[in-house]
Amino acid sequence: MTDLIPYAFVVALILILLFSAIRILREYERGVVFLLGRFWKVKGPGLIIIIPGIQQMVRVELRTIVMDVPSQDVISRDNVSVKVNAVVYFRVIDPEKAIIQVEDFFAATSQLAQTTLRSVLGKHELDEMLAERDKLNVDIQRILDMQTDVWGIKVASVEIKHVDIDPTMVRAIAKQAEAERERRAKVIHAEGELQAAEKLVQAGKMISMQPEAMQLRYMQTLTEVAGEKSSVIVFPLPIDLLGPFQKMMKKSTPD
């Protein structure tokens, strides 16, 4: 019985070593394997066997990671203080670089996203932050992607979620928008008056060139006034309308 104890111990040790040597990696995982501390190769997915004590493996996910960037205090170019938060979508495309070139690629990407968000937005005015988010998203994504390339990370997109403004600034923006609407209304009204004046000038020139048109307009005005319920209507009679009658009277009067 005592002779079986060493064999059982050896079998148990072999089973433990086999169990510790087997790794199973999913389709979206890769294993960065080190041999005596030096990089050896990237393995996976599937069944991976490593030599315990001699080889070590670090798992790396290749799926897209959604990282929420904490709210950042940003001072815009026109000296307005706002709080901005965003979300970054990135993934590891080179597991070797992601493990060897940076200690913690997730934390490094998060810190870099925060500083880049403040740096990029600080170069723009508040109106641009509110109206040109798509352009700002592209600028931040391009800068992040360029800087994280040495870590084997691909930044797919960046989305600014919220731009929180101080309540006093909200009221100021509302007043500014109201003043802008009033200005546009006055400009539109002035343009309408200008167009109406131009049309009246054109009409006056046309009537002055054709006296018959003036007479027709006068008769139309008399017709409209006669339709009103007025007891007495005093209407001036232009001398031009009496010209034809005067000519007829002169012809009928003998010399």
Residue-level pLDDT at 139 = 92
The CA-based dihedral angle spanning residues 198, 203, 204, 210, taken in that order and rounded to the nearest 10 degrees:
150
Checking if the pLDDT of 86 tops 60, the result is: yes
Q: Is 101 left (phi over 0), alpha (psi -120 to 50) or beta?
A: alpha
Q: What is the structure's pLDDT at 18?
A: 76
- What single-letter amino acid sits at 233? I
Tell how far CA 24 is from the center of its chain: 43
pLDDT in tens, 162-194: 888 877 665 666 666 677 778 888 888 888 888
> Partners of 75 in the beta sheet?
81
pLDDT (0 to 100) of residue 22 = 87
From residue 232, alpha-carbon distances to 219, 241, 250 in Å are 18, 22, 33
Name which of 156, 165, 88 is nearest 125 in CA terms: 165
SS3 percent helix, strand, coil of the chain, rounded to 5, is 55, 25, 20
- Give the pLDDT of residue 77: 86
Neighbour-count burial for 104-118, b at 16+ CB within 10 Å, e otherwise: ebeebbeebbbebbe
Give me the pLDDT at residue 164, please.
Answer: 83
Question: Residue 126 pLDDT more than 80?
Answer: yes
Asked if 75 and 119 touch (Cβ cutoff 8 Å), the reply is no
Whether the pTM exceeds 0.85: the reply is: no
pLDDT top residue among 244 and 104: 104
Give CA separation, 192 vs 85, 126, 178, 182, in Å.
Answer: 45, 33, 21, 15
The Cβ of residue 39 has, within 10 Å, a number of other Cβ atoms equal to 12
